[in-house]
Chains A and B, each alone.
Chain A
Amino acid sequence: MNKINKKANLSLLVMVGLLFISQFSVAQGIVTGTVTSLDDEAGIPGVNVLIKGSNSGSVTDVDGKYSVKVPGSESILVFSSIGYISQEVVVGNRTVIDLVLDPDNRVLDEIVVIGYGTAKKSDLTGALSSLETDQMKNQVLTGLAEGLQGQAAGVHVSQQSGAPGRDINVVIRGVSTLSASSAPLYVIDGVPIANGLSQINPNDISSIEILKDASSTAIYGSRGANGVVLITTKSGGGKVSSGVDFSTYYGVSKATNIINMANGPQYAEMINEREINSGNAPIFTQQEVDNMPTYDWQNIVLQNAPVQNYDFSTFGSSDKTTYNVMMNYFDQTGIIKGSGFSRGSLRLNLNSDVSNKFNISSNMMIGVSRRDITPDGGQTGGLLNAQAMIPFMPPRDADGEYTIPSEFFPEASINFPNPLAALEQVDNNSTSTRILGNVSMRYNFIEDLSLTVLLGVDNQTTEGNFYDPTTNPGSLGTALVDKRFNQFYTNQNILNYKKDLGDHNLDVTGLFEWTYAKTSSLRAGGSGFFTDALGYNLIDLAENQNPASTSAGTESSIASYMGRINYGFKDKYLITVSARMDGSSKFGVDNKWAMFPSAAFAWRMSNEPFIQNLGVFSNLKLRLSWGKTGNQNFASYQSLATFGTLTSLFGETPSVALRANNLANNELKWETSISTNLGLDFGFLEDRFMFTAEYYSKTTEDLLAFVPLSPSTGFTSIVQNIGSIRNQGFEFAADVQIIEGGFRWGVNANISYNKNEVLELAGGSDIFGDALEQQMGQMNIIREGYPLGAFWTFRESGYDENGAITYVDTNQDGTINDADKEILGDPGPDVFYGITNKFSWKGFNLSMFLQGVAGAQVINSTSFFSIEGMYRGANPSLDYYNNRWKKDGSNPNPAYGALFTSRNNMESGSDRFIEDASYIRLKNIRLSYDLPIQKISWLRNTQVFVSADNLVTITDYTGYDPEVSVYNGGSVTSRTRLGVDQGAYPTSKTYIVGVKFGF
């Protein structure tokens, strides 16, 4: 059921209740009128129109019209509706009373989605953030998750990459796993979805609730440990009986930041110095050096990129049915040539009260998205490649052919390709088609008891296509086609009993649910094409079937029972108790089922007379919760002994051989988190100032880890549940109206602090991160007593007589080796925050959204060219040119080592690469104006707006962007390489102008 309908239904319920207790009703006259809303001047349906001091009244129809019998002219009409500030009007001698209701942006009794049901916000006992989706819709969002950034306390959102359409990393209250996914569970209109959010149009969303503490998430059991994001899409019911909305914007993106590189003469000068330092003759004469041209390679691969978006919806309602049809087309070109993202989506949300007992609703979406992919991170093809380029080399030669660095200037010993050639020539794209939706039926046996059956589906087909044509220097023509099919089905059966017995409020939910997921994939390719004409579309043309064809697939299922009781006494004491039993196919045969209980208590102190007597608080609520949740978001079949294939050779004949992949573990189970939460909500001045403070502690045990085995078993490790991690933190959120009236100023702010600590690892032994690019080596470690993925490396001590970097011999054993590495930082931000300022005046709205993190570090591996001493000819940066070590001692305080033709043996990752990645960013600023168009009958509203994303970023970070980190995803290998900027696609600044019409 959608939110607005709920509001309407609730109003109806209240109304009915009031009529029921009415004692008398005297008809003396009839007053009619229309109730409209201040924000869009549309009629408001379902407004209660009550005669004060009586129990009689009326309710407005779908157009906001009402008619009510009043006892006399002294009667006072009370107009109230959820979402609006109530008003009282003395009837006097009027027979027509039209009224404009002020929307109430801080309504306490909003209905919020809590998972398998809804609750009044005032009745909540757990930690839940209800998001304002308006702000996120101001931004240019390729994915919905990006819009969560800075919007809710405790929710840390970071981008792995600024590439359009790349998935976003969302972590709620800290990472609490080593090898399972740390992503929250996303639930759209009741259906827990299996895949990313990139096909979902942000404009389809009406509300987002984020469940953070265990008492809220325990109802999702073995999938609840990372938090739950509940997304509700727009329904057709509302203030307007029917309408058409159209909005569009157009804009342009550009790089936020360029790294200053050495120019042609400077590069040539350094090449000469490199040769001289190595005992060779210089390559260029001074005159040649001075006359070198300069090509700005970063700008050669970057572009100003257009973005456009079109949203169209038609919606409406009749007595029984509401509908909303939404269409969207979005197209964003990337700031790196060759990259981009586009999306089209079509949605139908339908809700029908077939009878007063039977309701059918459906939310269905078909989405198509396409991503054009360029290398993201790494030193070939992307921005790092461009940085490294010989600055005096043009991108194309006189004949228009791509230049090849190693041929253009072989003396440089450069082994990088021409980045432009790959970006312009390689066709690498991925298209996803998705059907996501549900059909649900609800039957009310009696007014208080209902059974809801929901069937949900999330099917996605992804086609990855790659072709590297023969026109790309060095390519023989290589094609790769990768098709993936993901199916996900669920069925929920929810029995709900709600009873309001005066002082006692009871809401009991029982659930049986199953989900089934299946993936399959097929990959084929070839190389050696005599023509580029058909590319990946006809791999039969390839000379070699290399890479070889592969196929794979998985299945998983979960069966669950859940029960939840919400009980309220006198609106003061609120108790929630829930328990979920989950059985998962992924677990070992000895551990298939698990129980996830929770309990929460809230005390609405503001309803106690002694608080009311203080006259200070308009709301004061203390919340306390405890619960157990699980994380089973890891690959299927890990508990089984599985075999893989390899190729063996006997005689001259290759044949398939089968080898054991891993040992079985019949005891394998979910990771378990036990969390406690202490929350305080308080509001002043009729909730004009509202605040929430939370403290939480989440300890996750039974971490899934690769535990080393004695290799004579034939296996080097086994997956076991060993280890624990704790996340503790504070959150603070404020929603205040500083100025009200004609000119309004509202501030919405949140700030979060999280401390992550690894408490226990298998055998107490460290887990080392994978080696980073080039000679950086391992720079991450997972060690007991430290945050996950802490930075572990050498400290530099200066330069030796040859200008090579020297390192601190921590243990003073005379050699520099891993034993000298120290923990010198960690990737998790200590603090992250978001502040939204909103100003409005006579149709003008200005919003400013600032967002930032503090106390985070990043390994800036993009600067690794600067320790290479140009031995392979990479341009090491202008800063390097200005501050390098000089053989003649002319630079007494060098910031970089010597130039040299061979790799210095001790070049390594070190503290120089660990940079403060704190930043504050003007994420979005938007100015809009609602045109005064009341006289145009066919137009409901018109708005024009201008907006800018990522306009200003204040940071000490010297790479492209402090937020971007290539390895931040869910896999164990990426978790051991947290917080590493290895040349990821940077974020961009985007400016847009747009217009919205309502018909």
Chain B
Amino acid sequence: MKRNIKSIIIISVFSAITFSCGDFLTEEPFTILVPETIFNDINGATAALKSAYSSMKDGNMRLVWTMTNGRADNVTTRGSWAPVSDYTKPLNSTNITRSYNGWNSFYQSIGRCNTVIDRADLISLPESRESEREALIAEAKFVRAWNYYYLVRLYGPVPLRLREVTSLTEEVLNAPRMSEAEVYAQIESDLQEAEQKGVDSWGAADVGRGSKWIAKAMLADVYLTQGKWREAKEIANEVINSAKYNLVSVATSEDYIQIYGPYVVEHSEEILSFKFTNSVNGLGTWEPKFSGPSTRTNYTTGGSGWSGYLVNTDCPHVANWDDADLRKDWTTYSFWTDPATGEVIDIRFGGVWPMFRKYRDFDAPGWGASHGNDLPIYRLSDMLLIYAEASSQAAGGPDADAIEKLNMVKRRAYGYDVATVSPIDYPSSGWTQQTFRDAVLIERAYEFMLEPGKRWFDLKRTNTIKQAIEAAYPGQTYNDVSTFYPIPPEEIQNNDGMTEADQNPGY
């Protein structure tokens, strides 16, 4: 009997001592990832940074691309996108929501970058691999800069979040809008670090991640946007002369498949593209869905493309588009020939508006996020045109080098050798600074049609939105409300640094 009592006293005393101590109540999640585990090694930290790219091309962000492409003068919109092409009044609620969701995705990506930047110290690395830590931080700063660059151009002054949010401190709760100049200063500083410490290039499995050269290319664009001509020219030239990139040659319009086709992994003029595939459900793009129906196999029964984008033939440079420009046939179309019957069908929307087919994937397994076409962000042609414009702007007019860079882009588009004088070359003289810039902008409009936001941002940075829109949309008077997207009310309500007055005009 004494043993009985001993046994139960032992159990209860043991239990009281063992299980009331702190460790018993500490949560050690064995199935859930916590920062302490992730940032212990470089692979975990890298995986954490990869998610920042996911936000850059998630569903919300893709809708922002579609909206911003639709804002351009050469693209008109229909269906739920129709209000995007109405510049006389604020967006409707559907597109306002798209703007809100886009804001959230930009900052989600920024938050993920900040986490990596702030926790990179925790990564345990041997001395010999110390540069990997620097490169990872550089890459995170590139991604952060990319997000701010789009934010500042779409929403104007925005809060600058540069630290990981771990608790609701005063600094976190109070984040006012910073001036555009302050935002640009941050973008430049992040990109400068990225172009110095970033990785030189990636292997096939990592193509699409930020590198030294991508940061340089973007920096050229950022300088150009701010009118820092000399800096833009220099760094664009550095990229051009790196010999890392060559324009893809085309002989027929179909050859553009080497750049825009669904199975392209990386092409020779690619600096940065967002990567998509049709082989894994959910990792594709839905960009072709916004274009015409025959961007998939069959015009008549191939399902229902939304035809969200239409070619705005009222836009002067679209109306004047030379049929010999191979980009025109690759990018747009009005007639479709049924391969089975040979019948030619007029597929212009309402018999008027041609459709886009720049991104097309006949093998896509479905209509959702299932197309393999990558989304180009920077190509070599961009650097050539930035160089041409910046050089001319800096010097008060183009020199032969600037004209040659502009010609290179045009020659390729007409199927000529890029390095050889061709019949369609621009004149070698007679330019003013302004006429040359106008020519570059038109060349950019053809070259980058439907490449995310390019034309709209060109109109913005050159302060030509109003004239371009009113020329392309007869009968519309441009309203400044269209210049920026609305900020989510959740931001204004829950950010002590903002008041209702911080909402963009018109919303």
Question: Which residues of A come within 8 Å of B, CB atoms?
Answer: 354-355, 357-358, 441, 443, 445, 451, 453, 455, 491, 493, 512, 514, 520, 546, 551-559, 561, 583-586, 592, 636-637, 639-660, 663-666, 708-716, 718, 763
Contact partner, B48, options A643, A649, A666, Cβ 8 Å = A643
Q: Do the beta carbons of A716 and B280 come within 8 Å of each other?
A: no
Known contacts A586-B27, A655-B50, A659-B51; A641/B494 CB under 8 A: no
Q: Do the beta carbons of A711 and B168 come within 8 Å of each other?
A: no
Q: With a CB–CB cut-off of 8 A, which chain B residues contact A556? A: 27
Q: Do the beta carbons of A648 and B494 come within 8 Å of each other?
A: no
Q: Do the beta carbons of A652 and B8 come within 8 Å of each other?
A: no
Q: Do the beta carbons of A640 and B34 come within 8 Å of each other?
A: yes
Chain B residue nearest in CB terms to A639: B27
Q: With a CB–CB cut-off of 8 A, which chain B residues contact A709? A: 168, 490, 494
Q: Do the beta carbons of A443 and B5 come within 8 Å of each other?
A: yes
Nearest CB on B from A465, distance (A): 23
Q: Do the beta carbons of B103 and A711 come within 8 Å of each other?
A: yes
Nearest CB on A from B504, distance (A): 15
Nearest CB on B from A12, distance (A): 21
Q: With a CB–CB cut-off of 8 A, which chain B residues contact A358? A: 1, 4-5
Within 8 A of A (CB), among B462-507: 488, 490-491, 493-495, 498
Q: Do the beta carbons of B166 and A592 come within 8 Å of each other?
A: no
| 29 CB < 8 A contacts A-B | A355-B1, A355-B4, A358-B5, A491-B15, A520-B31, A546-B281, A551-B31, A585-B25, A592-B22, A592-B25, A637-B32, A639-B27, A642-B32, A643-B35, A643-B38, A648-B51, A649-B208, A649-B276, A652-B265, A654-B277, A655-B47, A658-B44, A663-B166, A708-B494, A710-B175, A710-B495, A712-B110, A713-B165, A714-B111
Q: With a CB–CB cut-off of 8 A, which chain A residues contact B498? A: 710
8 additional contacts (CB under 8 A) given A354-B4, A711-B104:
A493-B12, A555-B27, A586-B27, A650-B53, A655-B205, A663-B165, A714-B111, A714-B161
The CA-CA distance from A652 to B284 in the complex, in Å, is 11
Q: Do the beta carbons of A713 and B33 come within 8 Å of each other?
A: no
The CA-CA distance from A546 to B30 in the complex, in Å, is 25
Q: Do the beta carbons of B48 and A585 come within 8 Å of each other?
A: no
Q: Do the beta carbons of B31 and A552 come within 8 Å of each other?
A: yes
Nearest CB on A from B154, distance (A): 14
Q: With a CB–CB cut-off of 8 A, which chain A residues contact B114? A: 714
The CA-CA distance from A512 to B47 in the complex, in Å, is 44
Q: Do the beta carbons of A713 and B107 come within 8 Å of each other?
A: yes
Find the residue from B12, B107, B175, B202 having the highest chain A CB count within 10 A.
B12
Q: Do the beta carbons of B29 and A712 come within 8 Å of each other?
A: no
Q: Do the beta carbons of A666 and B167 come within 8 Å of each other?
A: yes
Find the residue from B1, B27, B111 having the highest chain A CB count within 10 A.
B27
Q: Do the beta carbons of A650 and B208 come within 8 Å of each other?
A: yes
The CA-CA distance from A530 to B203 in the complex, in Å, is 39
Q: Do the beta carbons of A664 and B494 come within 8 Å of each other?
A: no
The CA-CA distance from A355 to B4 in the complex, in Å, is 10
Proximity bits, B169-184, A CB within 8 Å = 1, else 0 = 0001101000000000
The CA-CA distance from A643 to B279 in the complex, in Å, is 26
Q: Do the beta carbons of B24 and A559 come within 8 Å of each other?
A: yes
Known contacts A493-B12, A554-B31, A583-B25; A710/B47 CB under 8 A: no
Q: Do the beta carbons of B16 and A493 come within 8 Å of each other?
A: yes
Find the residue from A558, A650, A718 having the highest chain B CB count within 10 A.
A650
For residue B282, CB closer than 8 A to chain A, the reply is yes
Q: Do the beta carbons of A642 and B104 come within 8 Å of each other?
A: no
The CA-CA distance from A506 to B473 in the complex, in Å, is 91
For residue B28, CB closer than 8 A to chain A, the reply is yes
The CA-CA distance from A643 to B283 in the complex, in Å, is 20
Proximity bits, B1-44, A CB within 8 Å = 1, else 0 = 10011011101100110011010111111111111001000001
The 7 closest A-B pairs by CB, nearest first: A714-B111, A493-B12, A657-B50, A553-B31, A710-B495, A659-B51, A514-B19
Nearest CB on A from B277, distance (A): 6
Q: With a CB–CB cut-off of 8 A, which chain A residues contact B29? A: 554-555, 636-637, 640, 642
Q: Do the beta carbons of A713 and B283 come within 8 Å of each other?
A: no
Nearest CB on A from B369, distance (A): 11
Q: With a CB–CB cut-off of 8 A, which chain A residues contact B279? A: 652
The CA-CA distance from A647 to B173 in the complex, in Å, is 31
Q: With a CB–CB cut-off of 8 A, which chain B residues contact A654? A: 277, 280, 283
For residue B266, CB closer than 8 A to chain A, the reply is yes
Nearest CB on A from B209, distance (A): 6
The CA-CA distance from A857 to B330 in the complex, in Å, is 60
Within 8 A of A (CB), among B270-308: 275-277, 279-283
Q: Do the beta carbons of B495 and A712 come within 8 Å of each other?
A: yes
Main secondary structure of the interface of A (DSSP, over half): strand
Nearest CB on A from B99, distance (A): 12
The CA-CA distance from A651 to B107 in the complex, in Å, is 25
Q: Do the beta carbons of B275 and A652 come within 8 Å of each other?
A: yes
The CA-CA distance from A4 to B61 in the complex, in Å, is 69
Q: With a CB–CB cut-off of 8 A, which chain B residues contact A583? A: 20, 24-25
For residue B112, CB closer than 8 A to chain A, the reply is yes
Q: Do the beta carbons of B166 and A453 come within 8 Å of each other?
A: no
Contact partner, B51, options A493, A553, A649, A658, Cβ 8 Å = A658
Contact partner, B30, options A514, A553, A639, A643, Cβ 8 Å = A553
Q: Do the beta carbons of B172 and A649 come within 8 Å of each other?
A: no
For residue B310, CB closer than 8 A to chain A, the reply is no
Q: Do the beta carbons of B111 and A713 come within 8 Å of each other?
A: yes
The CA-CA distance from A655 to B43 in the complex, in Å, is 11
Find the residue from A354, A585, A652 having the highest chain B CB count within 10 A.
A652
The CA-CA distance from A441 to B10 in the complex, in Å, is 12
Find the residue from A556, A559, A648 having the highest chain B CB count within 10 A.
A648
The CA-CA distance from A756 to B114 in the complex, in Å, is 44
Q: Do the beta carbons of B50 and A559 come within 8 Å of each other?
A: no
Q: Do the beta carbons of A657 and B54 come within 8 Å of each other?
A: yes
Q: Do the beta carbons of B206 and A651 come within 8 Å of each other?
A: yes
Q: Do the beta carbons of B44 and A659 come within 8 Å of each other?
A: no
Q: Do the beta carbons of B4 and A441 come within 8 Å of each other?
A: yes
Known contacts A586-B27, A647-B280; A658/B1 CB under 8 A: no
Chain A residue nearest in CB terms to B15: A491
Chain B residue nearest in CB terms to A452: B8
The CA-CA distance from A451 to B8 in the complex, in Å, is 8
Chain A residue nearest in CB terms to B282: A647
Q: With a CB–CB cut-off of 8 A, which chain A residues contact B53? A: 648, 650, 657
Chain B residue nearest in CB terms to A817: B93
Chain B residue nearest in CB terms to A643: B33
Q: Do the beta carbons of B283 and A647 come within 8 Å of each other?
A: yes
Q: Do the beta carbons of B165 and A715 come within 8 Å of each other?
A: yes
For residue B158, CB closer than 8 A to chain A, the reply is yes
The CA-CA distance from A647 to B209 in the complex, in Å, is 15
Q: Do the beta carbons of B51 and A557 come within 8 Å of each other?
A: no
The CA-CA distance from A651 to B279 in the complex, in Å, is 13
The CA-CA distance from A493 to B107 in the complex, in Å, is 52
For residue B207, CB closer than 8 A to chain A, the reply is yes
Nearest CB on A from B54, distance (A): 5
The CA-CA distance from A894 to B242 in the complex, in Å, is 77
For residue B204, CB closer than 8 A to chain A, the reply is yes
Q: With a CB–CB cut-off of 8 A, which chain A residues contact B68? A: none
Q: With a CB–CB cut-off of 8 A, which chain A residues contact B107? A: 711-714
For residue B108, CB closer than 8 A to chain A, the reply is yes
Q: Do the beta carbons of B47 and A663 come within 8 Å of each other?
A: no
The CA-CA distance from A89 to B16 in the complex, in Å, is 54
Q: With a CB–CB cut-off of 8 A, which chain B residues contact A665? A: 167
The CA-CA distance from A655 to B266 in the complex, in Å, is 18
The CA-CA distance from A170 to B206 in the complex, in Å, is 53
Known contacts A651-B208, A711-B107, A712-B159; A585/B280 CB under 8 A: no
The CA-CA distance from A655 to B206 in the complex, in Å, is 10
Nearest CB on B from A666, distance (A): 7
Contact partner, A641, options B16, B19, B34, Cβ 8 Å = B34
Q: Do the beta carbons of A559 and B25 come within 8 Å of each other?
A: yes
Q: Do the beta carbons of B19 and A559 come within 8 Å of each other?
A: yes
Nearest CB on B from A558, distance (A): 8
The CA-CA distance from A584 to B28 in the complex, in Å, is 13
Contact partner, A650, options B16, B44, B111, B275, Cβ 8 Å = B275
Nearest CB on A from B500, distance (A): 14
